Chains A and B, each alone.
Chain A
Amino acid sequence: MTRRGVSLPDPAASARDRATRTAELAVQVDGLCKSFGTNVVLDGVDLHVTEGQVVSILGRSGSGKSTLLRCINLLEIPDGGRVQVGRHRAFDNGHALRGNDLVKLRQAVGMVFQSFHLFPHLTAIENVALPLMQLRGRDVSKAIAESLELLDRVGLAEKSKQAPHQLSGGQQQRVAIARALAVNPKVLLFDEPTSALDPESTVDVLNVMRNISSDGMTMIVVTHELSFATEVSNRIVMIDEGKVIEDGSPTSVSRSTNPRTASFFKFFDRGPRLRRDDDQP
C-alpha cells in the first residue's frame, strides 16, 4: 500500500495470529455435495475456516470453485452435506434456510463477483448506500456519510457521483467491495475478483483486499493470482474433480509433491505481481 502512502504490518502474519488466538469457526462446510444433472461438481468437500482467516481456493476451470462459494450463501442449494456460517445453519440434513433466515445468512456473507454486478442505474455512492438504507436501517444522511467513508477505504471517495459505466473495471470492483462491506458481513467471498481486470487494476483491487484482510475480515477467495494466494492468504485449498486435494499453508501447498498441484503451480507461476514497487522499471 505504499502507493496510497499508508504502510501496514504484514497482514498475513497478523491474521495468522488472530486465527490461532480465537479458533472460532466462521465457516464450516462438511461433506458438501452438489451435482448439476449427471455432472457431479462437488463430491464431499470439507472446509473449516476460522475467524480472520484468509483462504485462497485454487483449481482448474470447471473444478467447482464458484459452486462451492455459491453453496455457502445458498445462491446454489447443495444436494448433501452441511454448511454453517457462524450460527447460521445454512444447509443441514437436506434442509436449506429460507425466507427471513436466508436473508440473515446472506447478510452475514458478502460476495464479490468476477464481473462486479454494480447497479448501473445508481451512482457509485448510491450502490454503497442502498444496502445501508435497505438492510441496516440507516437514514439517508447517515447512509451517505458511511458510504463516503467506505468509498474512502477503497480509495474512491472522489468518484462517488460517477455512474458505474464511467468507472474502470478496477474501480468498479472496488466499489463492489465497498458495497459488500456496507452490509457488515462476517465473511467475504470473492469469486475471481480480478480475472476481468488489467494488471494495473488488479494491483489496486488486491491491495484493497489485503487491507480488508488486515482489518481481520474472514475471506474465502477463489483466485488465479498466485501472488495473492501466497502473500496475502494464510491458507490455500486446492480443488480438483469435486474434491479438496490440498489444504495447508501457502508454503506447504506450493511445495506439494502431488503432481496435479505441482503442474497447477507451474502453469500459474507467471501472474502480475501484487506489489507494484517490485516491478522492473
Chain B
Amino acid sequence: MTLEGLGLSVPWFDYLPDLWAGLLTTLKFTISGFVGSIVLGLVVALMRVSRVALIRAVASIYTEIFKNLPLITEIYIIYFGLASIGIRFGIFAAATLSFALFYGAYVSEVFRGGLQGVPPGQREASLALGMTPRSVTRHIIVPQALRLALPGAGTMMVDLLKGTALLVTIGGAELMTQGAIITSTTFRALEVYLVIGLIYFSLCYPLSRGVVRLERRLDSGAPLTPSRRRHLKLVDEAMRRRVPRTGDVPA
C-alpha cells in the first residue's frame, strides 16, 4: 500500500531520517533536562528543610521565581537575552539550563512535599533504635520521600518531554522543529502536525503508564536499587536453607 493510498500526501519516507534525528534530539533534551532538574530539585528541597534560615531563604526565593515565570520567557532570556550581553550558550546548553531551572523549581516542591509527607513517627522510631540523625535522613526519610514524590516527578517528566517542543522557537532541531521544516516545504500543516502529535503521544503515554506501574511495584516491596535487589536475593537463599520449625504458624 502506498502513502497516497492511506490518504497521506507528505512523502514521509523521505523525511524519516529527519524525524528520527528530531526524535533523538527530543529525547536528548528530555533526559538532560530531567537529570538537571532532578539534581537541582533535590538539592533545593533539602535546602528548604535546612536548619539555617539563610539557606532556606535562598532556596525559596529560587523556587518562587522559577515557578512563576513562563518557560518560554526563561528560554528567551537565557538564549537571546544573555547572548546580547555577551554570555552565549549553544542550543543544548541553553535548553538544558532552562529546563533544569524551570523544572528544578517544580521538582523541589514535589520532593519537599515528599519529605514532609513522611510521618514523624518514622524519624522517631529510627532515632529510638539509636540511628544517627544523618543516617535516619539517608536510609529512612529520603527513600520514603522519593517514593512519595514519584507520581509528581513522573508527571513532571512527561510535561518536560512535551515542553521540549517549545525549543521550536530557537530552532532546537527536535521533533517540533522538524515538523515546522517539513510543513514549510510541503504546506501540509494538518497532516504534519497530526503525525508529530502522534509521535509525542506514543512517547508520553507509555511513560506515564510506566510510572504508574513502577509505583505499584514499589508498593508491594519490590526493590528499586541494585543493593536491595541483592539483599532480597540473599533473603530467598536464606529462606531456602532454613529448616522449618515444627511449631511454625503456616504462612
Name A's B-contacting residues (CB within 8 A): 4-6, 73, 75, 103-111, 113, 115, 117, 119-123, 125-126, 129-131, 134-135, 140-141, 144-145, 148, 152, 155-163, 165-166, 176, 179-180, 183
Say yes or no: B129 contacts A121, CB within 8 Å.
Answer: no
Segment from B2-10, B50-58, B202-210, B242-250 that makes contact with A: B242-250
Say yes or no: A5 contacts B221, CB within 8 Å.
Answer: no
Say yes or no: A111 contacts B121, CB within 8 Å.
Answer: no
B132 shortest CB reach to chain A, Å: 6
Say yes or no: B238 contacts A145, CB within 8 Å.
Answer: yes
> B133: nearest residue on chain A (CB-CB)?
A103
Q: Which residues of A contact B127 (CB under 8 A)?
A: 75, 106
Q: Which residues of B contact A159 (CB under 8 A)?
A: 251
A107–B132 Cα gap in the complex (Å)? Answer: 11
Say yes or no: B231 contacts A126, CB within 8 Å.
Answer: yes
Say yes or no: B129 contacts A106, CB within 8 Å.
Answer: yes
Q: Which residues of A contact B232 (CB under 8 A)?
A: 123, 126, 161
Say yes or no: B221 contacts A163, CB within 8 Å.
Answer: yes
Say yes or no: A103 contacts B247, CB within 8 Å.
Answer: no
Q: Which residues of A contact B139 (CB under 8 A)?
A: 130, 134
Q: Which residues of A contact B147 (CB under 8 A)?
A: 121
Q: Which of B221-251 contact A (CB under 8 A)?
A: 221, 228, 230-232, 234-236, 238-239, 242, 245-251
Number of interface residues of B (CB under 8 A): 39
B interface, over-half SS: helix
Name B's A-contacting residues (CB within 8 A): 119, 121-122, 124-132, 135, 139-140, 143-144, 147, 218-221, 228, 230-232, 234-236, 238-239, 242, 245-251
A–B pairs, 24, beta carbons within 8 Å = A106-B129, A107-B130, A108-B130, A110-B128, A110-B129, A113-B121, A117-B119, A117-B121, A119-B122, A120-B144, A121-B147, A123-B235, A126-B228, A126-B231, A134-B135, A141-B234, A141-B238, A144-B234, A144-B238, A148-B242, A158-B250, A160-B235, A163-B219, A183-B129
Those 5 A-B pairs whose CB atoms lie nearest each other, nearest first: A107-B130, A163-B221, A158-B251, A117-B125, A5-B247
20 more contacts with CB within 8 A, not counting A117-B122, A123-B221, A144-B235, are: A4-B248, A5-B247, A103-B131, A104-B130, A106-B130, A119-B122, A119-B125, A119-B126, A123-B232, A126-B232, A134-B131, A135-B129, A135-B130, A152-B242, A152-B245, A155-B249, A158-B250, A161-B221, A161-B236, A166-B221
Say yes or no: A135 contacts B131, CB within 8 Å.
Answer: yes
